[in-house]
Structure 1
Amino acid sequence: MNNNKEKASFKKFINLIKSTNVKKGLFFTGVLLTLIGTAGSLIVPLLTQMFIDGFNTDLITMPLVILITGVFLGSAVIDGISYYMLAKIGQTVVRSLREMVWAKFLKLPVSYFDKTKSGESVSRVVNDTSIIQNLITSHFPQLISGVLSVAGSVIILFFLDWKLTLIMFVSLPISIAVIMPLGSRMQKVSKKLQDETAAFTGAIQETLSEIRLMKSFNAENYEQQKGNRGIGQLYKYGMKEAVINALLSPIMYTIMMFVIILVIGYGGLRVADGTMTIGTLVAFLLYLFQIIMPMTMFAMFFTEYNKALGATGRIMGILEMGDEKSGSLEDVSLAYKTLQFNNVSFGYEDTPVLENISFTAKNNQKIAFVGPSGSGKSTIFSLIERYYSVWSGSITIDNIGIENIPLSEYRSGIGYVAQESAIISGTIKDNITYGLKAGEYTDEDIERAVKQSYTSEFIDELPDGILTEVGERGVKLSGGQRQRIGIARAFLRNPQILMLDEATASLDSQSEKYVGEALNDLMAGRTVLVIAHRLSTIVNSDKIYFIDSGQLTGEGTHIELMASHDMYRAFTEQQFGED
């Protein structure tokens, strides 16, 4: 996948955050409050120094106690408010990112999803954005307060005792030497982990969506082994992350403890010879702790930042992909009177499927496509739906190239009933009205569609009627019931062009009777394109096209083809029996 190979940089990360239209005012207010809160925490060691060096019970007055308490409480409250504001920005950014990625997925062409498992796409929306969310919401506010705390402490320490401060800086090059290579390694490991997470998510989603297939063929052991391999890969990369973190924390802790020992040792000598007060040494240690804690956090931030760069690369890879092409014409008024294929050639990747296909379908005509499996019949329907762009030739509606017509307007006039109608989770009503906005239909329209599709034959027997939940992919419904819901959906859209892809091929005789009657009603007065395996659905077609290996080898009525086309006659006798 291209998005997996996308390399990210700090600039791309910032550009990605900017694209979410982050509220700068809220951000800078949060930073300002963090600065104020940090300034409050920086005053406490100075007060402690003054208190120790000039200890006198007479100094312990109520105003001083109130001042110290107020500084503590005020600093804590301001820190809490600033953290909330920065966290809100992080949550807002991630929400916008998820909305952007989700909207992008809905605009990508079908060819992308042909090559990408749905679980991998889900991982981009959920897992990758969660990594960025974790960085912005949890680590970034700590980074800001940490930077301010370290900067302020260092400045004050130089004023307190510049010699002791220089000793403290011994740890800086050592820390950088440790963090940089470990951070680089973490970025690589994190990328691998996220890629494996996406692949694993896709695999288990595919397995669970076809749970009946798995159980029917006793494939539990196979799927368990496949799943365990994916889990093993996740474990392997998870442990590599753990090793890096396990090295990072104790190394940083050791470095800091070494610095503390140096400071205490050298500071103790200075106190002993009278060149430093005890209060100054205590204040120095308090400031040192205000530096040590953020420094440890900086190491964690750097590893999380490298993770976020990997996630940014994948998200940017998605956002930079080309959208499904829409037409440039405006105010197009389509009558859908004539659909034409003009020398159309097409294939998937580098494999040709159709070659120089030409035909015309007019309003109130029924056009059938017949031929061996894999000959390209369903591909013709995919091209009409504009799932793909033709290699050469053109497809027109009313002499207008379909690629020039706005997609939403073009597809609104097309209805499609597949061999197995797609059903979404929700109610029967949700499925019938799927894709339509409120106001584009009435309850009377739904009732009419239900009646015309013979869906009422089983809906009326359900306790909740049309509000019955159908389950994931319609598992609570029979094949015939799902087909009738699909036909009701087509009736409600009232399409000008109706495409039927073997719509009755997998039904029992009773279901076929209901579905067949519904289809006959639905086909009236429309341009109808049919892919059929049953003789009864094609003998009365206005024209039949025989497709063989992607080529149109014959056309005519059933009687004409039986008389003139040897392959059609043989195919008909083999597939349907003689009529």
Structure 2
Amino acid sequence: MKDNSKYEFWNYFKYYFSILKGQFIISIILSTGVSLFDGIGMAMFMPLLQSVSDDGNTVVSSSNSLGKLHYFTDALAMIGLKLNLISILFILSFLFITKGFLKFLQMYHQVKMRQHFMKTVQLSLTNRIHNLSYEGFLTFDAGKIQNSLNTEVALMRNGIMHYLNSFQSIIMLIIYMLLAFTTNWQFALLVSAGAIISNYVFKKIFSLTKQASSALSRKGDQFNSYILQAVHYFKYLKSTNYFSFYSVKLKKTIDETEYLNKKIGLYQSITSSVREPVLIIIVSLVILIQVKLIGTGLNTIILSLLLFYRALVFLLSLQASWQSYLQNIGSFKSINATLDKMELYQEKNAGSLPFTFADNIQLNHVSLQYGTKVIINDISLQIPKNKTIAFVGESGSGKTTLANLVSSLLTPTSGNIEMDSKPLTNFDIESYRSKIGYISQEPVIFNDTIFNNITFWAEPTAETLEHFNKTIALTHLTDFINSLPDKANTQLGDHGILISGGQRQRISIARELFKNVEILILDEATSSLDSETEAIIQRNIDSLHGNFTIIIIAHRLSTIKNADIIYLIEKGKLKDYGKFDDLIERSQRFKHMVELQEF
């Protein structure tokens, strides 16, 4: 959505209309109905009662006090309705009962509209994240994504409520202005001019509020990012006493957020306190001009004043609602900026073939670069089905990047990847990834039960339970799970904090095997474990040999001694390949790496 301050209300209208469509039109119709019945009821109340004679049985001429609104009473007389106290009170009751019914429909419709709008926004965010490419994800701050999904969406919900209130106030204001012009156009014109002048007084404050709101939204992104990092690195920050320094950043952000909130509160306090006195001064001056200079009768002025008092009430309401909306405008800009940026990085899934894998994965002259930096340089290699492949090399040599290319997280700058001589791009990307298991150095453990972590929240049917039991047996988890009081329903805590590193890693492997993967990628899967635990995990991995296509990325060369093919990567290039013993004989570089690790 373009930020055109000159036409901002209309721009926001078009933005909401693009999402709500017919619902927004219905809301306008209901708001107009409420305003019309409210306006006519209030306009008729005083003059009609004033026109009734003291006995309450007849109506005296009221054209002077009603202005052109006497057409309404003339219309009632034409249909044969005798105007007296009872009929007038009946008409007023009918008008306000109808208004009340329309008000109910309007408010309930706005509730449904708000919920539909928020659902649409949240689904848009969810879908964009789901379809966000890995390269695109790397450009985002995790704190901004979390802030958009939580805090900003909540502020957006408040914002649309204030916008709808502003829109309602505009319609009410227009209706009362039209009625006031019909009664006494001179009075209406003078007060309108005064109201326009007063609006310019508040325009600067509205602009400052809008700027502060945008700044507040940015601070929210920053604070969420800091909090995420503080939680993620809590152990490190605590053990090194860096938390004392890191908390200074948090406190500074909190202070800046408090300052912005105070600034917005100050602007709101100013407008709330001076708005009504300014308008009363305007009305007083207009009455003085009408009586002293123009010579308008007090009866007509009283009716005009009643209508304008109602109009000014809604003008005050409009200004208050609009300022409240501007306080939340930063969330709209933040979420729309996030959605627009995600749209630029949406993953393209051009393939349609279901994934099948019978022979091998082939990388043909694959290169990858970011800007001018070459990460992978013209690599060609083969990964046979159900063989164990290892990528070795120094840190930063391109091992993990190669695995990311194979898993389709990254797209080659040049060259191509084939499955059984068919380009990877021909396959449906989700079908392909559903057959990939990924185990990283830091196991992915959700704050839930063992069963839900392994089955990924599958329903506990008989078939699921049978498959679950086979999987935990395959990963040597059966004895461990049976030793727990709650068995598979044991809660693992945040990031699996309640179990050991080796158990977390085995549960991660079990999750991948449960979904019947064909390709298993182990990215430094045992590097953070002690030697004994590493040996246990390594035996688990070795037991899978020949049943899965396994790609191992390792610094500890002892974990790849049994690999079928080892690819030595150096500075993004393929330097050599072969079995472990062959590489020791042939490659001085690989031999030196083995000697340094002394095994």
Q: TM-score, normalised by structure 2?
A: 0.86
Structure 1: segments with no counterpart, 5+ residues = none
2:591 maps to which of 557, 563, 569: 569
For 2:37, the equivalent position in structure 1 comes to 40
**Amino acid aligned to 2:28:** V
% identity of equivalent residues: 24
Kept after mapping to 2: 8 A contact 1:158/1:165: yes
1:84 maps to which of 105, 108, 118: 108
**Stretch deviating more after TM superposition (130-139 or 401-410):** 130-139
Residues 1:406 and 2:405 aligned together: no
Distance in 1 of aligned mates of 2:301 and 2:445:
73
For 1:182, the equivalent position in structure 2 comes to 205
Distance in 2 of aligned mates of 1:523 and 1:178:
77
For 1:17, the equivalent position in structure 2 comes to 16
Look up the SS of the partner of 1:58 in the other structure. Answer: coil
**Amino acid aligned to 1:34:** S
For 2:167, the equivalent position in structure 1 comes to 144
Look up the SS of the partner of 1:169 in the other structure. Answer: helix
Listed one character per residue, the Cα deviations across residues 443-487 of structure 1 (whole Å, up to 9, x for unaligned) are 211111111111222211222221222222222221111111111
**Amino acid aligned to 2:123:** E
Distance in 1 of aligned mates of 2:4 and 2:426:
35
For 1:299, the equivalent position in structure 2 comes to 319
Matches within 5 A, 1:218-229: 218-229=241-252
Distance in 2 of aligned mates of 1:118 and 1:50:
64
Deviation at 1:187, TM superposition (A): 2.9
Residues 1:394 and 2:392 aligned together: no
Seen in structure 2, the aligned counterparts of structure 1 residues 319 and 435 have a Cα distance that, compared at 3 Å, is: farther
Matches within 5 A, 1:68-467: 68-140=92-164, 142-266=165-289, 276-278=297-299, 280-303=300-323, 306=326, 310-320=330-340, 321-348=343-370, 350-434=372-456, 442-467=464-489
Deviation at 1:100, TM superposition (A): 0.7
Kept after mapping to 1: 8 A contact 2:361/2:418: yes
For 1:58, the equivalent position in structure 2 comes to 56
Kept after mapping to 2: 8 A contact 1:23/1:89: no
**Amino acid aligned to 2:147:** S
**Amino acid aligned to 1:291:** A
Distance in 2 of aligned mates of 1:477 and 1:75:
63
Distance in 2 of aligned mates of 1:564 and 1:396:
29
Deviation at 1:64, TM superposition (A): 4.7
Deviation at 1:120, TM superposition (A): 0.2
Deviation at 1:147, TM superposition (A): 2.3
Matches within 5 A, 1:450-529: 450-529=472-551
Look up the SS of the partner of 2:227 in the other structure. Answer: helix
**Amino acid aligned to 1:568:** F
Kept after mapping to 1: 8 A contact 2:392/2:566: yes
**Stretch deviating more after TM superposition (171-180 or 194-203):** 171-180
Kept after mapping to 2: 8 A contact 1:193/1:234: yes
For 2:79, the equivalent position in structure 1 comes to none
Kept after mapping to 1: 8 A contact 2:42/2:307: no
Structure 2: segments with no counterpart, 5+ residues = 58-83
Deviation at 1:342, TM superposition (A): 2.0
Listed one character per residue, the Cα deviations across residues 388-422 of structure 1 (whole Å, up to 9, x for unaligned) are 21222222221222233221111122222222221
Deviation at 1:85, TM superposition (A): 0.9
Look up the SS of the partner of 2:555 in the other structure. Answer: coil
For 2:71, the equivalent position in structure 1 comes to none
Seen in structure 2, the aligned counterparts of structure 1 residues 504 and 145 have a Cα distance that, compared at 3 Å, is: closer
Seen in structure 2, the aligned counterparts of structure 1 residues 159 and 373 have a Cα distance that, compared at 3 Å, is: closer
**Stretch deviating more after TM superposition (420-429 or 123-132):** 123-132
Listed one character per residue, the Cα deviations across residues 13-40 of structure 1 (whole Å, up to 9, x for unaligned) are 45543553x261x444433333232223
Distance in 1 of aligned mates of 2:237 and 2:358:
44
**Stretch deviating more after TM superposition (5-14 or 481-490):** 5-14
Deviation at 1:498, TM superposition (A): 1.6
Look up the SS of the partner of 1:360 in the other structure. Answer: strand
Deviation at 1:82, TM superposition (A): 0.9
Q: What is the total number of aligned residue pairs between the two structures? A: 568
Seen in structure 2, the aligned counterparts of structure 1 residues 411 and 37 have a Cα distance that, compared at 3 Å, is: same
Kept after mapping to 2: 8 A contact 1:561/1:569: yes
Listed one character per residue, the Cα deviations across residues 171-209 of structure 1 (whole Å, up to 9, x for unaligned) are 133134224433333333322221121121121122123
Seen in structure 2, the aligned counterparts of structure 1 residues 411 and 333 have a Cα distance that, compared at 3 Å, is: closer
Distance in 2 of aligned mates of 1:153 and 1:77:
20
**Stretch deviating more after TM superposition (147-156 or 511-520):** 511-520
Kept after mapping to 1: 8 A contact 2:43/2:307: yes
Seen in structure 2, the aligned counterparts of structure 1 residues 294 and 473 have a Cα distance that, compared at 3 Å, is: same
- Cα RMSD (Å): 3.0
**Amino acid aligned to 2:416:** S
Look up the SS of the partner of 1:451 in the other structure. Answer: helix
Distance in 2 of aligned mates of 1:538 and 1:316:
48
**Amino acid aligned to 2:132:** L
Look up the SS of the partner of 2:381 in the other structure. Answer: strand
Kept after mapping to 2: 8 A contact 1:150/1:291: yes
Kept after mapping to 2: 8 A contact 1:16/1:312: no
